[in-house]
Amino acid sequence: MEDTPAGPPPVSREEAWNACISAGASFLKSLGDALAAAPPENKADFLSRMLPVEHDEKTGRSYVKLPMPEPAVLNAALGALTSLVERLARP
């Protein structure tokens, strides 16, 4: 009999959604904390630098332009996305 790595235990739908909501809440809290630390007279300027809104001249639509994270953070996010896609592809 061949030993195969078991991998991480399966995650329930509830656990996955809880983790997603928790990450979103953490992001919003961090953004709020950073905004609260900005000087009162510069809050609008601070927010526009944190989440710069750009205008697409071709489509006329506005969008938030987010800077790319450090390579290690980006690699971790891509690894998590790869793991999600692999799990979705399983029968």
Local confidence band at 75 (pLDDT 50, 70, 90 cut-offs): very high
How does pLDDT run across 56-67, given as a tens digit for each residue? 999 999 888 877
How does pLDDT run across 13-50, given as a tens digit for each residue? 888 888 889 988 998 898 888 888 888 887 778 877 77
Whole-angstrom distance, CA of residue 52 vs CA of residue 63: 8
pLDDT of residue 85: 84
Whole-angstrom distance, CA of residue 51 vs CA of residue 63: 10
Residue 51: is its pLDDT beyond 90? no
Statement: the pTM of the whole predicted model exceeds 0.75: no
